[in-house]
Amino acid sequence: MRTEQLAELGQQLRVDSVRAADAAGSGHPTSSMSAADLAAVLLANHLRYDFDRPGHPGNDRLIFSKGHASPLLYALYRAAGAVDEKELLTFRQLGSRLEGHPTPRLAWVDVATGSLGQGLPVGVGMALAGKKLDQIPYRVWVLSGDSEMAEGSVWEAVEHAADEHLDNLTLIIDVNRLGQRGPTRHEWNLGAYARRLQAFGWHTVEIDGHDVGAVDEALAEARTTFRRPTAVIARTRKGRGVSSVEDREGMHGKPLPDADEAIEELGGPRHIHVDVQPPPAARVLHGTRGAPAEPPRFEIGESVATRTAYGQALAALGSERADVVALDGEVGDSTRTEYFAKAHPSRYFECYIAEQQLVAAAVGMQARGYVPYAATFAAFLTRAHDFIRMAAVSRANIRLVGSHAGVAIGQDGPSQMGLEDLAMFRAVPASTVLYPCDGNQTARLVDAMAATPGVSYLRTSRGDMPVLYGPGEKFAVGGCKVLRSSDRDRLTVVAAGVTVHEALAAAELLEREGIAVRVVDLYSVKPVDARTLQEAADETRCLVTVEDHRPQGGLGDAVAEVFSDGRPAPRLVRLGVRNMPASATPEEQLRVSGIDADSIAVAARLLVEEAVVR
């Protein structure tokens, strides 16, 4: 498209952004108007995309990291013929696909955006998939605001992209000077952004973002840059083209005061249609199935850490499924992801100590059809909570694994202990939370996660634990196992992971005292097996939950919630880590935190005695 036409298309995108926000009575038209020329040039001359086939493997990927500029994205879709004018004006209305910030309710949106600082990290995952896995020359274009360049996650992505030589990734920074409450840190100092990006190894181009010819040349330069990602750093003006709002503070996130006057000043509505360049013919080089592989098998009584079983099971799954990929946060020798790395080096991705990038890369890869497993210490996944939250908004299918959970890790102390992770993951919409207690259970749950939609989480332990289940035992997501029961049971102990073994030991102690105890292994913490728990409550009337986790939000709360909807409630005691741990042996940690076998037995005795008195 020629320069004059590009300029007219930019004006059309501005007008449509104003119209959409005006119809909604809310939105971010001024943030859309600043980037309109950048978007016009990209759509008309550089993006290769088949809107009728959003799943085409050769399609470029476009991520609006500045998701509040969604009116501009939807205006682009109208120009491309994917959205009509009637739908454009349903922006932000109940039932509309055109939400305030983009989500994959639209087939052309790969991931949800709006939490700033996430678009580039996810784009890195997509670019890695294109270059290292698909080996298809599609490009990943990320439109970013200047305000979000302050986010640490952006710089995790910047370093990772440079280290991986992702020349198929282009970051377009809309430097419009104004954030939500006033000027950004660097305002229009393009060199400040360029120097930082260059220091990480990026190619940079500084331009006037309203000079469509310069934008065209910059994007062409990005497409021909070799072995380095490119950042196009564009000086723009917020609210461009409307004198009453252009470069004015206080107009962020508001419809224009007089939309009709603004549209007239912009030259009125236009109806330019862009025939977007189609992608080249492409096919994914791998199938989804590999050679048949048996998961690891452990014999009853053998000792194995669940983290070790995870690593071995993932390596076996990788042999069977060519779409499985593994990512790790530079702790693969501890999480045991190293087994996968050795077996399938081309599908292993080292993300280093950058947990936000770790999760974001997994989100990007799953958007390209892969089945990612991403692992680090359970404690460190808390750093990436916002990315996990947004993964759920994106309807992403990712599998996260947190090792070294709880006080049972021992002498390393509280900074390394995952004690809040179950609560964090249970709060994620439609998530699955699994906490195995032995090697065979772990191996089966690793397999099950591959077919589990949404965000799933597997919690693994550092120390060796006895194998309780035979290799042929099955474990359904949403299930549990009753390890010990009789018609004499006076109480049920519900445990998961390391505390299952403590619960069994406590049951032995209590049996010698004439107190029969049922033991439930609640390996699926979410969804929970409500039926089995209700049966246990009906038959024993007393429940003790015990977990190597804080009392808030974990296994105990999961059990309590079963009885919160009017079901008959048992007497319930919840044991968890209420103290601030210090360095000690694993055995000492469990005892001091009140979640070892003796502590369970004490709580059980008191509960049974109280039940008798009442």
Just list the catalytic residues: 355
What gap in Å lies between CA 522 and CA 520, rounded to an integer?
6
Amino acid in the structure at residue 58:
G
Q: Are 403 and 336 in contact (CB under 8 A)?
A: yes
The position carrying tokens 């030991």 is 505
What gap in Å lies between CA 57 and CA 286, rounded to an integer?
12
Taking alpha carbons only, the member of 455, 499, 446, 448 closest to residue 478 is 448
Q: Are 445 and 475 in contact (CB under 8 A)?
A: yes
What gap in Å lies between CA 476 and CA 478, rounded to an integer?
6
Q: Are 116 and 147 in contact (CB under 8 A)?
A: yes
The position carrying tokens 């490009």 is 139
Q: Is the peptide bond before 121 cis (omega within 30 degrees of 0)?
A: no
Q: Are 460 and 373 in contact (CB under 8 A)?
A: no
CA 280 vs. chain centroid, Å, equals: 30
3-state DSSP of 261-310? HHHHHCCCCCCCCCCCECCCCCCCCCCCECCCCCCCCCCCCCEEEHHHHH
Taking alpha carbons only, the member of 304, 306, 359 closest to residue 328 is 359
Amino acid in the structure at residue 373:
Y
The phi, psi pair for 138, rounded to 5°, reads -75, 155
Written as six digits, the tokens of 159 are 């370093």
Q: Are 26 and 203 in contact (CB under 8 A)?
A: no
What gap in Å lies between CA 463 and CA 408, rounded to an integer?
8
